[in-house]
Amino acid sequence: MFELNGKVAVVTGASSGLGKDAALAYAKAGANLVLLARRKEKLDEVAKEAKALGVDAVTYQVDVTNEDMVKEAIEQAAKHYGHLDILLNNAGVAVRGGVDSLSVEDWDKSMDVNVKGIFLVSKYVVKEMMKQQYGKIVNIASINAVIADKSDTFIRHGYNASKAAVLGLTKGMAASYGKYNITVNAIGPGLFESEMTENTLFKSDEFLTMYNSLNPMNRPGKRGELNGTILYFSSDASSYVTGQFVIVDGGMNIV
pTM: 0.96
Is residue 62's pLDDT more than 70? yes
Q: What angle do CA 96, 99, 105 make, to 5 degrees?
A: 65
CATH 3.40.50.720 fits 8-248, yes or no: yes
Contact 36, 60 (CB under 8 A): yes
SS3 241: coil
| pLDDT value of position 127 | 98
pLDDT of residue 204: 77
Residue-wise pLDDT tens digits, 164-194: 999 999 999 999 999 999 999 999 999 998 7
Quote the pLDDT of residue 199. Answer: 64
pLDDT of residue 22: 98
CA distance linking residue 72 with residue 137, whole number of Å: 20
Helix or strand run (H / E) with residue 228: helix 227-234
**Polymer length of the chain:** 255
Q: Domain spans of the chain? A: 8-248
Confidence at residue 193, expressed as pLDDT on a 0 to 100 scale = 81
What are residue 189's DSSP bridge partners? 248
Cα angle value 77/112/194 (rounded, 5°): 75
Query: How far is it, in rounded angstroms, from Cα 70 to Cα 76?
Result: 10
Active site residues: 159
